[in-house]
Amino acid sequence: AERAGSPGTADAPPDAEVPEPPERLGFVARYVGSSEFLSQHADLEKLNICAHQCAMRNADEYVVEAILTYEKLPLLITDLLATELWRTHAFPHLLPSLASNRNVLRTYFTLYHECTLVSLLHTLFYHRRAVEALDQLSVELVDYCARRMASLAVPEDRNDAVRRQRRPLSGDARQEHLLGRTAAEELEEHRLETQYRSAVGSVAIARYLCEHFEALPLAAQARILETHDWLLMLVSLV
């Protein structure tokens, strides 16, 4: 199959920094937003950039091989689900406190962590052996993709994330908005942006899961065809 580009991921520079070995990755979701969490986010971002750079150049995909060799795929899926839970359930309650601290950049990187994971997984699942390595976690990933794709199908008049992408402010209106928004409004816009990017990225992941459908366990196949009916869901996104 022809390889698709990664949604929301910039082309890596020729001299991209070599990332830390994947075997050092550990699960730190309970410390979401901490220095430890952000340090691992930086490592994952470097891995993501290198993985996409290798894919674009048809070079040796050592990042993919290392993640599978050191069995870090379950960690990535667990991290993805935990970050989604933080965004949907914890962030709304923490927003007043986060806005009062004025540390918008730290919160943005925490929100963007989900996009980084989606982008890296998109590169991994181009390879059938990565899909085979999912095993029973494939059910969780199928459910995640279904939730994210469903969020894109919500009508625009009730979907702030999609409306911002289709009808962006421009010129003086955008400048006035950026100068006048509060810290809470800025963080909410970052949430909507990362929510949209992760949703678009989930469509790319869904594509590769469908291409390697026979490599999925029967439970995951049933979730795709019967529980969520991906075919019907994707029609609404066309």
Reported as half-sphere exposure (CB side, CA atoms, 13 A), residue 104 has a value of: 12
As averages over each run of 10 residues, the pLDDT of the chain (238 residues) reads 48 50 61 84 93 87 90 93 93 91 85 96 96 94 96 81 74 72 88 93 96 96 96 85
Domain annotation covers residue 74: yes
Domain annotation covers residue 9: no
Domain annotation covers residue 113: yes
pLDDT of residue 9: 42
Domain annotation covers residue 226: yes
pLDDT of residue 168: 72
pLDDT of residue 194: 93
Domain annotation covers residue 220: yes
Q: What is the DSSP string of 57-81?
A: TT---HHHHHHHHTT-HHHHHHHHH
pTM: 0.85
pLDDT of residue 118: 98
* Distance from C-alpha of 26 to C-alpha of 179, rounded to nearest angstrom: 39
In total, how many domains does the chain have? 1
Domain annotation covers residue 4: no
* Distance from C-alpha of 146 to C-alpha of 28, rounded to nearest angstrom: 25
pLDDT of residue 14: 47
Domain annotation covers residue 12: no
Domain annotation covers residue 16: no
* Distance from C-alpha of 13 to C-alpha of 234, rounded to nearest angstrom: 33
pLDDT of residue 99: 87
Domain span at residue 105 reads: 22-235
pLDDT of residue 20: 59
Which has the closest alpha carbon to 138: 199, 208, 84? 208
